[in-house]
Amino acid sequence: MSKKNSRRRASPPDPRTTEIGGGPAEGVFEIDSGTAELEKDTFHPGAWLLRINNVQSSHVIVGEPRELAFEYMRWIAAGVEHFVEGRLDPQQLRVTHLGGGACSMPRYFAATFPGSRHTVVELDGKLASYVREWFDIPRSPTVKIRVGEARAVTETFVDASRDVMIRDVFAGAVTPEPLTTVEFFRHAHRSLAPGGLYVANCGDTRELRGAKAEIAGLAEVFAHVACIADPPMLKGRRYGNIILMASDAPFPEALAPEAARLTRDLLGGAVPAQYKDEAWTRTFAAGAEARRDGN
């Protein structure tokens, strides 16, 4: 999983296995899928780094839900906020987060859009219980954590029952393939209200085959597809994150002032990123074959 922390390099995991005693504490904790390691971020009071099976997963600053340390999360935040503006009622926003970790994004959006409602789908039930004890995650109905496998749970969603869906699910360094197929995208599309937004954190290699296949699949299902990433990633120079966005509603480039604000926000981080419109995105993925269930 590519989770970029712009503040520090993670230290080696503590070899001990610790039992939680209430509140965040450094150590390694047994969870259903393996281990979760919690480590203090000494660069900021109240900040914690969470690793799942030795892979960087989440960063949380207790009491400061709108502080996002991972650049890709900042890109998701910028993309969603600019899409929502003028299109959806932020106070009535219904957001589904596929993949929970420490619930960094639900905390952020709950603080950014008071009155919004969030459903987090997390595979690991023990991890979900731990992060509720460790961190200041708003209680249900503001943030509801549902334990289950993301694809199976998505298939149960009522039609048009959510406004934004954010997929940030990894098994090790890759997203499980059932969450990258045309059939899955159709379930996501069906679940979204008209004009809703689908967002995916796509971790990919230098060849960018995964991102191109996902874009090809999304383009079969949604009217508009765009992406956000930093230039070295888009040029195939390294492994990293590409944020994919899909909707039946137009993206900000259709409205020049919104596009300018989004560009400014993306360039302002420690790792400057670029917004690529649907014309660029479709050219980028030209010739790619979409993934399908059973292939």
> pLDDT-based confidence at 256, cuts 50/70/90?
low
242 lies in some domain: yes
- The Cα 80–Cα 76 span in angstroms is 6
pLDDT (average), residues 119-147: 97
With respect to residue 33, please indicate whether it lies within any of the assigned structural domains.
no
Whether the pLDDT of residue 272 is over 90: the answer is: no
3 lies in a domain? no
Q: Is residue 16 part of a domain?
A: no
CATH of the domain at 254: 3.40.50.150
Q: Please give the tally of structural domains in the chain.
A: 1
Return the CA Rg of the chain: 18
Domain contains 171: yes
Domain for residue 129, yes or no?
yes
Q: Residue 1: is its pLDDT beyond 60?
A: no
Give the range of the structural domain holding residue 271, as residue numbers without chain letter. Answer: 71-284
Q: What is the pLDDT of residue 65?
A: 97
Per-residue model confidence (pLDDT) at position 258: 60
How many other CB atoms are there within 10 angstroms of residue 263's CB atom? 18
Q: In 3-state terms, what secondary structure has residue 1? A: coil
pTM of the entire structure?
Answer: 0.89
Q: Is 214 part of a structural domain of the chain?
A: yes
Q: Which of 84, 87, 135 is nearest to 113 (CA)?
A: 84
pLDDT digits (tens, 9 = 90+) for 210-252: 999 999 999 999 999 999 998 888 887 778 899 999 999 988 6
- Whether 146 is covered by a domain: the verdict is yes
